[in-house]
């Protein structure tokens, strides 16, 4: 469920998980039960910064999965094999 920000006239902002179909409806403040309106914020789609600034979509998705605790390694590596076979030669 998405997380939305609401603002109570008496208590201030609070976040609330709601179904998307109920996102625009007023919510009750968890502290005082007054009706609170949803706040619409700008900047949700900020460009990535830091180490993932130049990363591709797949790399950012992999990092998001790692931060969430979801397993990242799901199978053998893909891609082309290097020439020389599979045995280690030292």
pLDDT of residue 40: 81
pLDDT of residue 1: 76
pTM of the complete model:
0.45
Q: Is residue 28 part of a domain?
A: yes
Compute the distance between CA of residue 74 and CA of residue 76 in angstroms, rounded to an integer: 7
Angle at CA of residue 11, ends 19 and 38, nearest 5°: 30
Structural contact between residues 14 and 6, judged by C-beta atoms closer than 8 angstroms: yes
Q: Is residue 24 part of a domain?
A: yes
Range of the domain at 31: 3-38
Q: Is residue 53 part of a domain?
A: no
Q: In this predicted model, what pLDDT tens digit does every residue of 25-84 receive, in sequence order?
A: 889 998 999 999 988 876 555 665 666 666 677 777 777 777 777 666 666 767 777 676
- How many domains, in total, are found in the chain? 1
Compute the distance between CA of residue 60 and CA of residue 79 in angstroms, rounded to an integer: 19
Q: Is residue 62 part of a domain?
A: no
pLDDT of residue 87: 61
pLDDT of residue 3: 86
| Higher-pLDDT residue of 11, 49 | 11
Closest among 25, 45, 47, 46 to 37, alpha carbons compared: 25
Q: Is residue 18 part of a domain?
A: yes
Q: Is residue 90 part of a domain?
A: no
The pair phi, psi for residue 49, each rounded to 5°, is: -130, 170
């Amino acid at each position: 469920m998405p997380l939305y920000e609401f603002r109570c006239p008496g208590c201030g902002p609070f976040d609330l998980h709601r179904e998307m179909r109920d996102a625009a409806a007023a919510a009750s403040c968890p502290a005082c039960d007054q009706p609170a309106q949803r706040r619409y914020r700008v900047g949700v789609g900020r460009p990535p910064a830091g180490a993932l600034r130049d990363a591709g979509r797949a790399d950012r998705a992999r990092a998001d999965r790692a931060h969430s605790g979801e397993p990242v390694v799901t199978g053998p590596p893909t891609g082309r094999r290097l020439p020389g076979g599979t045995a280690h030669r030292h």
